[in-house]
């Protein structure tokens, strides 16, 4: 999970701050470009980079975007780069993970693209297996499972796409699918994170896919765009990625800066309109907005301001659905808290 220092003003997509590049002039185009957005990750960065060096597929480039780190992250990157010419370092002013990944994409030369957050890590065979599967099945995009890891190193659970979508579609490893096959869950059903997916670089370039310059949910428009444009989506039924869950990750500081979530919704809406899918995906988009805002309201300081923006930006139906969800949650929350307290007393 990339943690970025909030910026006072969200940059527009086209605004790019001056960048500094460090790379090996002899590096040729790689089979896979792996992009890491890095902001103050000195505690975890070594493990992430070592997991890339341990990949059985050696023909990769490792693009590390230093997003204005103030800790020892840049020193760690330089130390690794001294011993591994596949590492390319981009240094930028702090702009957030979306801008960092966008700048990484601009520098990427690989045939395929993967993303890694600097506190997570890949399994050693991940990139080789995903590359081979992409070539064999001619995939534009591959979605794969991941492990949820606690800070103690224990596996807390696993994200399994096949189980997640079994009500709507029977995924098979040796068969490609498209978004039409999973239409009821196309917006969010495959988890809108960029890092449990493997992308054909030509797909990204052809459709000019980019991340939102937002401090929250910057992945959504990129992942949804890749999913909707991909003609052949593959599925790998193995947890190739390890996602670290921090003990305090569920308690994000409340701030009205997090109202930038509406920028993410606007980006997704523009994408759907641009593709001429507004009517086709109307129900799916309404469901996405409901789930998305219901989840993120806990990260907003001013609930009244949040609801005011909802009234202005959302349709009457979306507002009605959202208010019904809020009322239901407000009734359930005291009951859930009471049960949790009882559980703590018993322990």
* pLDDT tens, residue by residue, 164-183: 898 889 999 999 999 999 99
Percent of the chain at pLDDT above 90?
65
Percent of the chain at pLDDT above 70?
84
Which distant-in-sequence residues (6+ apart) come within 8 Å of 78 by Cβ? 22, 89
Q: What is the mean pLDDT of the chain?
A: 87
Mean pLDDT of 225-237: 98
Mean pLDDT of 45-51: 98
Backbone angles phi, psi at 258, to 5 degrees: -75, 0
Chain length of the chain: 347
Q: Is the pLDDT of residue 17 over 50?
A: no
Mean pLDDT of 107-130: 98
Which distant-in-sequence residues (6+ apart) come within 8 Å of 257 by Cβ? 6, 215
Supply the DSSP symbol for 216: S
Q: What is the pLDDT confidence band of residue 216, given thresholds at 50, 70 and 90?
A: confident
Q: Where in the chain is the domain with CATH 3.90.550.10?
A: 20-245
What is d(CA 20, CA 31) in angstroms, rounded to the nearest whole number?
A: 24
Write down the pTM of the prediction: 0.85
CATH class of 20-245: alpha beta
What is d(CA 146, CA 133) in angstroms, rounded to the nearest whole number?
A: 17
Residue 1 has what pLDDT?
Answer: 54
Q: Which two tokens stand for residue 61?
A: 């480039």
What is d(CA 323, CA 320) in angstroms, rounded to the nearest whole number?
A: 5
Question: 223 or 346: which carries more pLDDT confidence?
Answer: 223
* pLDDT tens, residue by residue, 286-335: 999 988 888 888 888 888 898 899 888 888 888 888 888 777 766 555 55
Most confident of 10-14, 115-119, 216-220, 335-339: 115-119
For the stretch 304-334, what's the b/e string if a residue is b when 16 or more beta carbons lie within 10 angstroms of its beta carbon?
eebbebbeeebeeebbebbeeebeeeeeeee
């Amino acid at each position: 999970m990339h943690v970025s220092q909030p910026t006072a003003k969200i940059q527009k997509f086209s605004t790019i701050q001056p960048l500094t590049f460090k790379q090996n002039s002899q590096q040729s185009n790689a089979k896979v470009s792996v992009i890491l957005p890095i902001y103050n990750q000195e505690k975890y960065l070594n493990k992430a980079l070592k997991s890339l060096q341990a990949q059985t597929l050696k023909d990769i480039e490792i693009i590390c975007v230093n997003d204005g780190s103030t800790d020892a992250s840049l020193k760690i990157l330089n130390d690794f780069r001294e011993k591994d010419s596949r590492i390319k370092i981009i240094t930028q002013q702090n702009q957030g993970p979306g801008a960092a990944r966008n700048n990484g994409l601009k520098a990427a030369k690989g045939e395929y693209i993967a993303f890694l957050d600097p506190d997570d890590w890949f399994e050693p065979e991940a990139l080789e297996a995903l590359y081979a599967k992409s070539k064999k099945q001619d995939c534009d995009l591959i979605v794969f499972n991941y492990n949820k890891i606690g800070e103690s190193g224990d596996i807390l659970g696993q994200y399994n796409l096949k189980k997640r979508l079994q009500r709507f579609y029977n995924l098979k490893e040796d068969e490609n699918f498209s978004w039409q096959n999973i239409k009821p869950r196309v917006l969010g059903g495959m988890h809108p994170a960029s890092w449990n997916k493997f992308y054909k670089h030509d797909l990204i370039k052809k459709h000019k896919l980019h991340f939102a310059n937002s401090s929250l949910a910057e992945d959504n428009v990129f992942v949804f765009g890749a999913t909707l444009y991909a003609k052949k989506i593959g599925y790998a039924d193995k947890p190739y990625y390890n996602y670290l869950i921090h003990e305090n990750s569920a308690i994000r500081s409340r701030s009205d800066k997090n109202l930038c979530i509406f920028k993410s919704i606007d980006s997704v809406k523009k994408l759907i309109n641009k593709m001429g899918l507004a009517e086709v995906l109307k129900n799916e988009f309404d469901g996405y907005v409901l789930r998305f805002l219901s989840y993120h309201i806990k990260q907003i300081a001013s609930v009244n301001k949040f609801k005011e923006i909802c009234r202005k930006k959302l349709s009457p139906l979306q507002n009605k659905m959202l208010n019904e969800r809020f009322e239901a949650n407000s009734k359930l929350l005291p009951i859930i808290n009471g049960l949790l307290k009882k559980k703590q007393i018993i322990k």
